[in-house]
């Protein structure tokens, strides 16, 4: 699990002195020694001295700091550091006291020098220091409690406290911003900062500390939330209230936590990502609930120079061929700003008197290149581009595409590894990395040795594999009569293009119907009389062959344990069919609503609910493009032999850009599962799937259709189960909502949690609904959730008639 950069995961990196005094105030004439600490009145925060040391370095050094940390959390987590860039080395002769001029100072008693001071413009020495329950360390006049002379909230380090301002003081010019730590154990000024846009736009930027170019922004404040953080509008998730203020004196953002029992830590991580953590008493650890940018590789220079960053891999960073890590000790502490260094200097660097360099170019395929690489228009070919690079000692790489030559000079930054694809719309490039001839030949020889070794091993194994190869050839020849590998769609991951006549034969002329849905009927089939498949015959598909094949290709690239796997397709105009893996336990609705089917126990239901949530979260957040399913219902959830849920028909959804731009859709949904905003004809977002999921979750809990009457005494709540369930949840009667077929064999804590999630998901305002990623975290117990309000829109509709008919919502 990711951790805040200020959390010291190795205990020997950190020493916190024992406390012999408990107070929240330092009075004139008093001093806070190394073995003391201030504790806020509510006990949440503490201030004192701590030290860090690294046994991994060649010189075992100890640095002392004055800081504020979470006092009620057993895992030491720093939130503010006074002397971050002025550590005190190898001494315990420290005290925090109020000086003669009224400032709070760190005094080194050994040399009688001031290490750090608040540097407040005071005119009196009758000042006191107090650590407030908010975590704010203040210096004020003892005779005037309302006059704050200095406060730590005006000088944040890497952490934003609840109630603290992030932004500008227009009068004094003070810029309250977050700056990351240098490494996990070094609180010194790091490489990244989070601050209000200096151009004047009402947004916050993440950017390198010494650069004006951001790598992520919140988007401009719209009065309720920042567009890049729509979760801010969901009051149930973070239990916070965020406001943005712009007046004659100040311009800032401030967030307040409404749940005092929740301990949160919002930090600009050493990785350059803005992260929010919630303390979990169950696991006794921090649980990350938010991170932006979501991909580590989106952070500028995340891996340092001459590295390649790869998403969805740990570690993200690796050196380019011919390079080694510059500072391995720093990398282990997540400080990768040093990047990698050449194993062998370039020829023109080591021998400046030469007239012809011997440097070579090493191919690095399938990468995303940095933006704004300078173009050399005169180079009309790859060889000319290479020569332009060789003519300049500062050139370290080049790439050539679409008739253009781009030259990269000095350190290479932000090179990102992509999945190789041969599609016409692929974004990857091949970079030609400049290496010394010695290093190039070494790499080439290593590759040759690998090839020779593989060839030798293959030769030795050839005789033993000969019989197996013959069997495989026979099998492939037999399979060719049934299908051919798709050749019209690139990157299709082995999807099979079936002939219609073969699918007709496999399904016995479409006799065994498994079910029907919004897009057509599904039939069971057999390949080679042994391999079961499910064939969906699409009704009303009007795409052209090229468009249909392209959509099939994108669907086939999506792989997840909770999504039905696409095996192949048929496209013989006008006939269009999709072939899926066969699920032996059919659809979820069969087990929930049919009396003659297997009754799912509670454990199976909870795992089904969690699995469906994970599948939707993957579609929304982890695919190359955000995919909205648009028709989540029990009839589109299949169960395998182990009752593992798999979402079907997800490929029918519209593809959106990752920025979650709203789009209008012409797709059909299902009555009773449609979100209000979709019914109203407005643009949809992934939150329509969240609404449908909430409806399905209620049916999983109750074992009945939402439109069925929950009981005969529901009064004015009518027969609409979701509204009835919300009221029973508030009344603490969750047990009455659970399927009676379970005969009370239910985990009531899980049932209550599932009901809460469902009722949050079906809120009328999409901004009140959680994301599917948050749903997964809640169901897994990683994040706590409050009691949801009654879905007022549904209640109003239910109250308008004695019998709620979900079809009236369409």
Spatial CA neighbour of 217 closest among 230, 208, 227: 227
Q: Is 747 left (phi over 0), alpha (psi -120 to 50) or beta?
A: beta
- Exposed, middle or buried by CB within 10 Å (0-12, 13-18, 19+), for 426? middle
CA 535 to chain centre: 35
The label of the residue with tokens 């909430």 reads 694
The token duo for 252 is 């800032």
The strand ranges marked E within 326-476 are 340-342, 360-368, 395-401, 404-409, 415-417, 429-435
Cis amide linkage into residue 765, ω under 30° from 0: no
User: Closest by alpha carbon to 689, among 762, 624, 754?
Assistant: 762
Half-sphere exposure in the Cβ direction for 31 (13 Å, CA): 15
Start-to-end CA span in the chain (Å): 43
How far apart are alpha carbons 136 and 133 in whole angstroms? Answer: 7
- Residue 360, helix vs strand vs coil: strand
* Distance (Å, whole) CA 803 – CA 709: 8
Taking a C-beta distance cutoff of 8 angstroms, is the pair 591, 583 a contact? no
Provide CB contacts within 8 A for 794, sequence distance 6+: 720, 722, 723, 762, 764
And the tokens for 258?
């409404």
Could you give the angle at the alpha carbon of 137 between the alpha carbons of 136 and 139, nearest 5°? 130
- For 420-459, the DSSP string reads ----TT---EEEEEEE-HHHHHHHHHHHHHHHHHHHHHHH
Strands 137-141 and 127-131 turn out to be antiparallel
Q: Which of 24, 631, 689, 739 is catalytic?
A: 631
Widest CA span of the chain, in angstroms? 97
Round to whole Å and give the CA distance between 306 and 325. 9
Kindly give, in sequence order, each residue whose CB lies less than 8 Å from that of residue 131, ignoring residues fewer than 6 positions away: 24, 25, 38, 39, 40, 45, 46, 47, 68, 137
Residue 297 Ramachandran class (φ > 0 left, ψ -120 to 50 alpha, else beta): alpha
- 292 vs 268: CA distance, rounded Å: 10
The reply to whether 359 belongs to the active site is no
DSSP string, 606-621: HHHHHHHHHHHHHHHH
Task: Quote the CA–CA distance of 540 and 519 in Å, as a whole number.
Answer: 8
C-alpha to C-alpha distance for 606 and 751, rounded to whole angstroms: 8
Instruction: Please name the residue that has the structure tokens 């020829």.
Output: 347
The residue among 86, 45, 79 whose CA lies nearest residue 65 is 86
Q: Using an 8 Å Cβ cutoff, are 757 and 775 in contact?
A: yes
| Look-up of token digits 């395929």 | 365
**Exposure string for 248-269, b = 16+ CB within 10 A, e = fewer:** eebbbbbbebeeeebbbbbbbb
Surface-to-core class of residue 375, CB atoms within 10 Å of its CB (0-12 exposed, 13-18 middle, 19+ buried): exposed
Give the number of residues written for the chain: 810
Helix, strand, coil proportions of the chain in percent (round to 5)?
A: 25, 30, 45
Q: Which residues are catalytic?
A: 631
């Amino acid at each position: 699990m990711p951790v805040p950069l200020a959390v010291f995961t190795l205990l020997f990196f950190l020493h916190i002195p024992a406390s012999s005094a408990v107070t929240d105030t330092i009075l004139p004439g008093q001093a806070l020694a190394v073995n003391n600490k201030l504790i806020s009145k509510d006990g949440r925060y503490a201030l004192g001295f701590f030290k860090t040391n690294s046994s991994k370095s060649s010189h075992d050094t100890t640095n002392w700091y004055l800081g504020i940390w979470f006092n009620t959390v057993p895992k030491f987590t720093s939130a503010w550091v006074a002397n971050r860039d002025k550590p005190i080395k190898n001494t315990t002769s420290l005290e925090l006291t109020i000086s003669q001029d009224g400032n709070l100072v760190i005094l080194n008693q050994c040399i009688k020098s001031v290490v750090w001071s608040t540097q407040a413009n005071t005119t009196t020495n009758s000042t006191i220091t107090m650590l407030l329950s908010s975590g704010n360390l203040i210096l004020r006049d003892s005779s005037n409690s309302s006059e704050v002379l200095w406060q730590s909230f005006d000088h944040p380090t890497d952490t934003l406290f609840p109630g603290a301002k992030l932004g500008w003081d227009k009068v004094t010019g003070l810029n309250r911003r977050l700056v990351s730590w240098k490494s996990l154990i070094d609180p010194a000024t790091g490489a990244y900062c989070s601050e209000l846009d200096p151009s004047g736009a009402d947004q916050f930027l993440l950017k390198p500390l010494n650069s004006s170019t951001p790598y992520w922004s919140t988007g401009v404040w719209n009065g309720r939330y920042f567009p890049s953080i729509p979760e801010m509008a969901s009051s149930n998730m973070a239990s916070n209230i965020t406001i943005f203020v712009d007046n004659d004196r100040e311009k800032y953002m401030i967030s307040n936590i409404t749940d005092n029992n929740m301990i949160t830590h919002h930090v600009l991580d050493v990785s350059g990502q803005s992260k929010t953590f919630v303390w979990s008493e169950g696991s006794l650890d921090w649980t990350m609930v938010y991170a932006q940018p979501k991909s580590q590789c989106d952070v500028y220079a995340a891996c340092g120079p001459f590295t390649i960053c790869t998403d969805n891999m740990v570690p993200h960073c690796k050196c380019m061929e011919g390079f080694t890590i510059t500072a391995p000790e720093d990398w282990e502490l997540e400080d990768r700003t040093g990047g990698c260094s050449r194993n062998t200097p370039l020829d023109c660097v080591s021998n400046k008197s030469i007239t012809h360099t011997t440097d070579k170019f090493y191919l690095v395929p399938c990468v995303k290149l940095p933006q704004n690489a300078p173009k050399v228009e005169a180079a009309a070919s790859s060889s000319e581009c290479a020569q332009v690079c060789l003519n300049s000692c500062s050139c370290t790489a080049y790439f050539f595409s679409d008739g253009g030559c781009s030259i990269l000079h000095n350190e290479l930054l932000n090179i990102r590894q992509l999945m190789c694809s041969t599609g016409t719309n692929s974004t990857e490039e091949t970079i030609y990395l400049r290496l010394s001839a010695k290093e190039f030949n070494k790499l080439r020889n290593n590759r040759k040795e690998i090839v020779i070794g593989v060839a030798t091993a293959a030769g030795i194994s050839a005789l033993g594999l000969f019989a197996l190869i013959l069997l495989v050839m026979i099998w492939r020849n037999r399979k060719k009569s049934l299908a051919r590998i798709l050749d019209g769609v690139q990157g299709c991951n082995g999807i099979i293009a079936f002939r219609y006549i073969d699918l007709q034969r496999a399904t016995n002329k479409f006799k065994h119907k498994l079910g029907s849905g919004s897009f057509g009927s599904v039939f069971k089939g057999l390949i080679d009389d042994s391999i079961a498949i499910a064939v969906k015959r699409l009704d009303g598909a009007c795409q052209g062959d090229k468009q249909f094949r392209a959509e099939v290709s994108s669907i086939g690239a999506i792989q997840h344990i909770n999504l039905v796997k696409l095996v192949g397709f048929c496209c013989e105009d006008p006939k269009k069919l999709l072939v899926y893996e066969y699920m032996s336990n059919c659809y979820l609705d069969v087990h929930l609503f049919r009396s003659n089917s297997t009754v799912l126990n509670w454990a199976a239901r909870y795992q089904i609910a969690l699995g469906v949530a994970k599948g939707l979260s993957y579609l929304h957040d982890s695919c190359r493009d955000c995919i909205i399913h648009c028709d989540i219902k029990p009839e589109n959830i299949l169960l395998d032999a182990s009752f593992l849920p798999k979402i079907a028909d997800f490929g029918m959804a519209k593809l959106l850009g990752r920025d979650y731009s709203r789009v209008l859709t012409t797709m059909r949904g299902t009555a009773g599962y449609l979100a209000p905003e979709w019914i109203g004809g407005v643009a949809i977002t992934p939150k329509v799937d969240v609404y449908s999921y909430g409806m399905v979750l209620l049916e999983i809990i109750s074992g009945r259709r939402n439109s069925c009457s929950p009981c005969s005494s529901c009064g004015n709540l009518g027969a609409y189960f979701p509204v009835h369930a919300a009221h029973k949840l508030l009344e603490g009667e969750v047990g009455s909502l659970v399927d009676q077929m379970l005969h009370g064999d239910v985990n009531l804590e899980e049932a209550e949690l599932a009901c809460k999630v469902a009722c949050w998901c079906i809120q009328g305002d999409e901004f009140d609904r959680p994301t599917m990623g948050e749903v997964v975290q809640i169901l897994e117990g990683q994040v706590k959730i409050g009691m949801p309000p009654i879905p007022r829109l549904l209640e109003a509709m239910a109250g308008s008639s004695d019998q709620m008919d979900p079809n009236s919502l369409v």
